[in-house]
Amino acid sequence: MSDQPDTIREIRINPIVPSESVLVSTARGMRPRKEEAPAPRDTRKHVDRCPFCPGNEAMTPPTVAASPETGDWQVRVVENLYPVLGDESNSGNLVFGLQQAIDGYGRHEVIIDHPEHGIALHEMSEEHLFRLIGMYRDRIRALYDADARIQYVLVFKNFGPAAGASIAHTHSQVIAMPVVPENVYNEVIHSRQYFEKNRQCIFCSLIDEALTFEAKIYDRESGSVRRKIDVGQYVIERGEHFVAIKPFASRYEWEVHILPLQHASDFIEINDAQREDLSRVLKRAMARLDAVIGGAQYNFFLHSLPHNNDFSHCQDSYHWHMEICPRTSIPTGFELGSGLFVSTISPEEAAEQLRAVVLD
């Protein structure tokens, strides 16, 4: 039985970036709407005309990297045929009046996650996820090393049409860009401000709270309990080195973040023992999401400290992490106009449902 109130209407502030707010309105979830069946997923192991399936390598650009390096590949990297950024030209930056344009140089690669066409992330073995996470690390490092102009390298995955995936074969992407994205920049700057005030990484503080904090908030007049927070209430999954947490101010109803338990600012410094544990925690977190949502369509991405001298002093204040954002609704005009994400299920209820899933 949940200790949360039956109906919640409150604006929650993101503790990492306080300018970002989330409106939790559980009554909104009771409004009449047409029930939709889960989006169908292509579960075939091989599709003859899929450019990402083994045997069709000639349908893609040449292999940039593969694991293993020889023999049948398990993870394969190619350049994106339709890149959002490219390194074929350098036209320079433009400034005209108040308008500015930065040359769109960079790199855009596709990481083919698995030889099987329709396999889902939670269906992959931990050994395979270990290999995939290693490829993420290697491509981030290689792209930073290849061009000193690169300010940030982002690894992300779109799974399902609602998340923007245009090809059904499971794949991730990596983009090296000439700017630090605003959301990463805000996280780095605000976490540094918190550190300078408290001498503590805010991500580490949030992990400590999730694992150890409990409290009761009472109504001043009646003395009744307004809100109760239990130890581990927001923890979805925990391993030896990583923890999966449901954020208190979740932008998406089933959003989950995975963070290293020990402070680490740069994803590419992950070691083999940590990779093994991340593979397990990621697989189990995705299995919980799939069990509760059913056919989850999602985006996930890695946020790590930019390789930029401007942020070299932020190693002790920034904490790399993975954000998993299931796409169960389309942003409304209110959300686009106000900048407030609306969640119709409380993060506490979502966390309770995810923890309740029984896994092997």
Domains with residue ranges and CATH for the chain: 9-29+47-87+97-356 (3.30.428.10)
Give the global pTM.
0.90
Percentage above 90 pLDDT, the chain: 68
Angstrom CA distances, 292 to 286, 295, 349, stand at 10, 9, 12
Q: Which phi and psi angles does 277 have, rounded to 5°?
A: -70, -40
Question: Residue 50 — pLDDT band, cuts 50, 70, 90?
Answer: very high
Would you say 204 is a known binding-site residue?
no
pLDDT computed for residue 87 by the predictor: 81
pLDDT computed for residue 227 by the predictor: 67
Looking up tokens 């349908």 gives: 59
Angstrom CA distances, 44 to 102, 131, 187, 193, 253, stand at 42, 22, 40, 49, 29
> pLDDT of 15-34, one tens digit each?
999 988 899 988 755 444 45
Would you say 190 is a known binding-site residue?
no
Angstrom CA distances, 332 to 7, 296, 340, 341, stand at 21, 20, 10, 9
Q: Take residue 176 and report the two structure tokens written for it.
A: 């090296």
> Do 125 and 113 touch, CB atoms closer than 8 A?
no
The closest alpha carbon to 152, from 135, 172, 174, belongs to 174
The closest alpha carbon to 257, from 279, 232, 236, 229, belongs to 236
Distance from C-alpha of 277 to C-alpha of 239, rounded to nearest angstrom: 6
* Model confidence at 290: pLDDT above 70: yes
β-strands 152-159, 298-303 pairing: antiparallel
Q: List the catalytic residues.
A: 171
Would you say 117 is a known binding-site residue?
yes
Which has the higher per-residue pLDDT, 199 or 27? Answer: 199
Angstrom CA distances, 167 to 50, 110, 118, stand at 8, 11, 10
Would you say 313 is a known binding-site residue?
no
